[in-house]
Amino acid sequence: MQTIVRTERYGYGAVSTAAPVRPRPACADEDPELFFPIGNTGPALLQSEEAKAVCRLRCPLMESCLQGALDRNESGVWGGTDEGDRRRIKRRAARRRTVA
Ligand code: SF4
């Protein structure tokens, strides 16, 4: 949508008043419980894999979501990873730091 406005410098002109389109997280369309499996065996493992698939296959925010989860030590599935995946990512990063 455009609106005609008057600016001091350019006189009258059209400016866009449409809200910027923001990427929508894929989990917004899912049951939030899916991302918080209880336990890490049997059905909880399947649930975790299903949640990770939502992230990995459909979410445009995966990288920033993963970084946020790493920074905040979140529990549950975030950014296509579960807690175990994120622990491994952190261990690998720590090892790389000690080697470098
Ligand atoms: S990557 Fe993050 S925002 Fe995207 S679906 Fe997964 S949990 Fe939701």
How do the domains of the chain map onto residue ranges?
Answer: 21-99
Closest Cα to atom 3 of ligand 1: 25
> DSSP E strands: which ranges in the chain?
2-7, 11-16
- Higher-confidence residue of 7 and 95: namely 95
Closest Cα to atom 8 of ligand 1: 27
Would the CB of 51 count as within 6 Å of ligand 1?
no
The pLDDT, as a whole number, for residue 9 is 60
In this predicted structure, the answer to whether residue 24 has a pLDDT above a threshold of 60 is yes
3-class secondary structure, 40: coil
pLDDT tens for residues 41-100? 999 999 999 999 999 999 999 999 999 999 999 999 999 999 999 999 999 999 999 987
Query: From residue 39, how far is each of 42, 43, 46, 48, 97 by CA, in Å?
Result: 9, 9, 11, 10, 31
